[in-house]
């Protein structure tokens, strides 16, 4: 795996904080809503059901271990 440039990472973090300050709460909410929709469209129907059953508190990523899901 290629190691990332620490200076570029630091600048990226600064840019994100500056952007957050600049955006209105409504715009940040809109961006987050679009991101959540994009993530949910990548999930299978079973993964969406699992997340819904947990009240949306599960991470959107796929489970790291293969196990049988029970709903």
The pLDDT tens digits for 10-66 are 777 777 778 888 889 999 999 888 888 888 788 888 887 887 888 755 554 555 555
Distance of alpha carbon 12 from alpha carbon 27, whole angstroms: 20
Domain range summary for the chain, segments of one domain joined by +? 22-54
Answering whether pTM is above 0.85, one says no
CB-based burial, 35-47: b 16+ in 10 Å, e otherwise? eeeeeeeeeeeeb
């Amino acid at each position: 795996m290629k190691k990332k440039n620490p200076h570029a990472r630091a600048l990226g973090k600064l840019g994100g904080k500056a952007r957050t300050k600049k955006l209105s709460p409504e715009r940040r909410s809109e961006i987050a809503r679009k991101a959540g929709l994009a993530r949910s469209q990548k999930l299978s129907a079973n993964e969406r059901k699992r997340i819904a059953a947990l009240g949306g508190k599960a991470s959107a990523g796929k489970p790291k271990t293969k196990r049988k899901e029970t709903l």
